[in-house]
Amino acid sequence: MTSKLVMIVLLAGSFFMAQAQQKAKPEDTEVWEPVPEVVKPGQVNIEAPADAVFLFNGENLDQWVSTNDRSKSAGWAVSNGVMTVNKQAGNIETKEAFKDYQLHIEWRIPENINLEGQSRGNSGIFLASTGKGDAGYELQLLDSYNNKTYVNGMAGSIYKQFVPLANPARKPGEWQSYDIFWKAPEFEADGSLKSPARVTVLFNGVLVQNNVELLGPTQYIGKPSYKKHGAAPIKLQAHGDKSEPISFRNIWIREL
């Protein structure tokens, strides 16, 4: 094969690959069945152990900064021991970076929410924030009490990767909890993946993710893949939809 012909073949391949990427849609990675079984939830409010560090103790946002500009304070509201998403201020993340940890976080969907599907109290916990915007590994936050959506995007899912093993969601207006056990990915010196991230999640005391190996950071469109990074902050999402903003309380962490 002549060098000119090789060049034509390579250019044609690049063209068709680009065309395929342009045609990719969010719906391509949505999974709708089987639907996880509904399970009566367990305990929510768990007292922090003696060696835990509070990321939010109900008083201030001293442990958080703006994701878009880490020199700025987190711009969310704090009132009566609760912090509430401010969508105009954008995502927030911890000042400190973490590797492996145990995290407890309590959250509440607004009682008066009136939308459907992914617009019903959408937010997320990024277990390792790897950049601005929604870059990182997302554990989904959503109203999943009698709310139909794709199952790898419901509460308790590792967004667009792993469907929860059960659905123990409480009604909007009631407090819910995640207990998360995170093992960060490790990389070789050349940037190749040494071991993938792993996570176990209890949702209202019910196991919904059992030591799953993540496929990479969250992708809204397309397939996830790994890129080398180190210890990272934990990020909370101010989702850009029209739903009422959700609230958080009693957030503590134990580094492992």
pLDDT digits (tens, 9 = 90+) for 23-77: 888 888 888 888 888 887 876 777 889 999 999 999 999 999 999 999 999 999 9
pTM of the model: 0.87
d(CA 13, CA 100): 41
At a CB cut-off of 8 Å and minimum separation 6, what does 191 contact?
Answer: 227, 228
Q: Lowest-pLDDT range, 2-6, 46-50, 119-123?
A: 2-6
3-255, CATH topology level: Jelly Rolls (2.60.120)
AA letter at 18 = A
Return phi, psi of residue 5, to 5°.
Answer: -70, -40
pLDDT digits (tens, 9 = 90+) for 175-230: 999 999 999 999 999 999 999 999 999 999 999 999 999 999 999 999 999 999 99
SS3 126: strand
- Domain positions in the chain are 3-255
Query: What tokens does 175 get?
Result: 């407090």
